[in-house]
Structure 1
């Protein structure tokens, strides 16, 4: 029988490969042309894992660990290897659960529950076991099973979180990944084998440990572990609150929605946030020197609604809040710096007239009157049309902007007069014990819903712009988050169930041939884990109203 060969186009070159050749074998032929490991491949524009085989003439585009999709596959695969190593070292009978919680530093914070003592000696054994798997290059295998069989299998393995999760899956089949005898479910594609997972380090931290991994920019270098203690404790507090409500995973949330009064969950979560906001207002009140409340956080963190609710609580504490937007202090358009592409860089601190900002705030602090500018975004110039402002004795300025935690923004103002707040939607919920929900996913979904409602922006456009937004956050916000006097988590444990019906229609509207389709497809698959609920029980002052509308604040 004659062998069949197909033409494979990579870049501008065509080569013939035998039918049935794996994309992994083809990737090895081209690896020398790439600086970083090839871990996935686009086959005629469709993302595939490398174990798949050649079946027709096609165009291939390789994905490396320096690409977003490849980087995520690396971290996801590392989670599988880590969990297997823990079970190998401790033995299955001694473990109740291994939980991969949230991102800390450049890695994941994890905990182990069971009959083990989590000490350095144990962690060293886990790391050695992982490195042995890397050296042996254990293959990561994939199989498709019926959803009912997956439910039964995970029940037998004691992975009841996945058992609950799949009770709500509408698809008939589920993909299971394995390394040797260890089987698990992961949300997304994997690298071909453990040999790709060379770069990691384990550190004991708090009640668990952190697996530190490379950054996307340097995928072969493990950076030093730098604890972010404030952020960690906010995440930990939110997680423990969810645990106390019996909601650790999406399956737990779905159980709560379908089997009990979801309105109670909404009200309790909202009450918790109101209590936190009231505590922050009280902290401001007792610091009598504070005249500037500075609020910063990444996109779609509910900064505007939070500032309104904080202002209400400040008034309840006898203070008089006065809002100021840093955006009104943009430099004149012709003075605005440009980025490497020649476009105006409105994200950087260089776009802000820092000198004017500091001078006016200092004058207010000194009891003088100032006319606060209003920036005209059409003309690109500041306008001085308002009445002169003088700071009253019990008045505090509530200042919101992406640079508010950057010391350079308020460099001339006394520290004792500042109270800095970092706000972000720090998702405390996991899909299951081994699949975390990145906080960026929750914020992106929020933004898609808000932009469609308030700006008429399509989901396609929001997704297209998201990497640029994230880049700005990495440069201008995250480096300064530990400067905050207090951190506030604006995520609501129930919010994705509410946002689901709002965002699905937007995502389904993205055409298959668009570059943004792949991300839309991923988000739709993610949202499919959730049982959706209506928004009628969401209070009018909820932070979530900033995105879905119907709130009592003008945002």
Structure 2
């Protein structure tokens, strides 16, 4: 018998091999939203996973970021099964998210019609109504059923090649069809009643609730510029046969890591040169370049590399920092809890900022402020700036895409650039790598390298960072004139060396930080480590792992 401690402190005796599902059902009235995943001794576990040791129990509710991953992952499995049941020739590949929606590309010759998609949605709704069971099975690699092996793609097999024969795997079955998905699923289909399928491009949109309210399905909001950037990255990485971790691992094993690095870096250089050429073609008109993007997207390195490409075109880049235009601390808006809100637009002295922009673009000499973060006051230390005929002004900051920031400058005189790491890499056709996870690894490594922060500090603050992005950056991303994708297809293989020790050092007692650390470690487990010596010193990745020629980037 095993001894399990419930969240309320009760001790229960259970048989070896028991799972958490009965306890989730027993305690359901104590949850604010349904429990879709368990926590056992600090680690996230599927509610149906058999357990064989004493431990402390906890639960992950659907109205959390991790809970919504379980929700959307379950819906995806239902979609894949329903599509195959109705149309055997369909072959869906998971591509990217657009808000709280997932785009799946139909890579088969069948090509789903709008009527087909309606039929698939109806089939999924029948699954929900019938509470169709999703069966969990834990097996070793060498005992995968033949029926499941037939359904495993070459990309999945490439991942399995990284595992020993006795490695434990989690397989799921729905209506007799197997699924190998990275992460927990709901016990049955009735857990995910809110969704819709929509025809989109060459595939289907799976729309589901936002984190925080699983009962409300927001209308799908198309983001064509963002989707175009994702698809361009997907098609490019597929073209060079390096769009999955399995393929990347094979290149590393074959000794072609340096070549992959060179190709990925060349793409960045080509894209930045193209942006600079576009600005140069409008040099008599465009005088203000605004660069914005979420945390750890590589904005600083992008700004400096773009400046070099502008110089190649005979344009002199000049930069000003939005941070220097913070209001004095005593005048800064406050949050509901009384703390200062430095991320809101109103924390910037918009009147002064726009006055200086207007005067600079008119050719006047301007005395620039410098914000003293220690005293919380703006100071003037004698720095002046004056633009010339062949110069442009570059401003980097989280509010760069918000029209209110530069309301006094006509649209034709500025160019807005959205910078983000929109990774095209996935584990296989059904298990994608979340862009937010890639950025979190970047931030964690940088915080450790240059800011003396351990992984717990970074992981603990990440949700606050994400909340700020959702509020101040993402609503404006499609107003950008240009989207620059800073992802590098090889970066996880480099990040692994730095990230794994940091993640392994996160103590079990750190709560949510430990849950996230274990999830990221499970993700990196499948990635082969890559030597970084071939990465050039102007690479965006150097902003995070060190060795950047752009000293200000650190």
TM-score, normalising length: structure 2: 0.94
Q: Answer whether contact 1:9 1:58 (CA < 8 A) is retained.
A: no
1:519 paired with 2:513, answer no
Is the partner of 1:343 in helix, strand or coil? coil
1:390 to 362, 378, 386: 386
Q: What's the secondary structure of 1:421's corresponding residue?
A: strand
Counterpart among 349, 352, 355 of residue 359 in structure 1: 355
Q: Contact 2:49/2:136 (CA < 8 Å) preserved in 1?
A: no
**What secondary structure does 2:489 align onto?**
coil
Residues in 2 aligned to 1:56 and 1:538: alpha-carbon distance in whole angstroms = 45
Match of 1:88 among 70, 85, 90: 85
2 CA distance for matches of 1:153 and 1:54?
26
Deviation at 1:154, TM superposition (A): 5.2
**Is residue 2:490 matched to residue 1:494?**
yes
Matched, 1:116 2:110: yes
Deviation for aligned residue 1:217 = 1.7
Equivalent residue runs for 1:243-282 within 5 Å: 243-282=238-277
CA deviation after TM superposition for structure 1 residue 446, in Å: 0.5
Please list, as runs of the form range in 1=range in 2, the aligned pairs for 1:437-476 lying within 5 A after superposition: 437-476=433-472
Distance 1:324 1:183, change over 3 A: same
1:129-177 deviation digits (Å, cap 9, x = unpaired): 1111111211111212222344976542252221111111357221111
- Is the CA contact (8 Å cut-off) linking 1:348 and 1:476 kept in structure 2? yes
Q: Report what 1:536 is aligned to.
A: 533
**Cα deviation code 1:503-540 (max 9, x no counterpart):** 11111111222222221111111001111111111111
Give the Cα separation in 1 of the matches to 2:138 and 2:147.
13
Structure 1 residue matching 2:327: 3-state secondary structure: coil
Deviations for 1:10-46, whole angstroms, at most 9, x for unmatched residues?
A: 447x597876875333333332343422212334544
Cα separation, partners in 2 of 1:43 and 1:198, compared to 1, 3 Å: same
Shift of 1:342: 1.9
Report the equivalent of 1:104: 98
Q: Given the superposition, is the C-alpha separation of residues 453 and 22 from structure 1 closer, same or farther in structure 2, using an over 3 Å criterion?
A: closer
Can you give the 5+ residue segments of structure 2 that lack an aligned partner in the other structure? none
CA distance in 1, matches of 2:29, 2:406: 49
The residue aligned with 1:73 is: 70
Does 1:25 find its partner at 2:19?
Answer: no
Output the CA distance in 1 between the equivalents of 2:79 and 2:247: 24
Instruction: Identify the residue that residue 232 of structure 1 maps to in structure 2.
Output: 227
| Cα offsets for 1:99-126 (capped at 9, x unmatched) | 1111013111101222423110111111
Which of 40, 58, 63 is the aligned partner of 1:61?
Answer: 58
Kept in 2, the 8 Å contact 1:329–1:357? The answer is yes
TM-score by length of 1: 0.94
Q: How many residues align?
A: 548
The structure-2 alpha-carbon separation of the partners of 1:23 and 1:512, relative to structure 1 and needing over 3 Å to count, comes to closer
Structure 1 residues 307 and 72, CA gap change in structure 2 (3 angstroms): same
Q: Does 1:292 align with 2:288?
A: yes
Give the counterpart of 1:197 among 189, 192, 200. 192
Whether 2:278 is the aligned partner of 1:313: answer: no
Deviation of 1:442 (Å): 0.4
Matched, 1:420 2:416: yes
Report if aligned partners of 1:293, 1:399 keep a CA contact under 8 Å in 2.
yes
The structural deviation recorded for 1:74 is: 0.8
Q: What are the superposed Cα offsets for residues 171-225 of structure 1, whole Å, 9 maximum, x if unpaired?
A: 7221111113111111111111111121110111111111000011211111111
Task: Write the mapping of 1:201-212 to structure 2, written as runs, cut at 5 A.
Answer: 201-212=196-207
Q: Give the equivalent residue in structure 2 for 1:223.
A: 218
Q: Does 1:34 align with 2:31?
A: yes
Q: Secondary structure at the match of 1:450?
A: helix
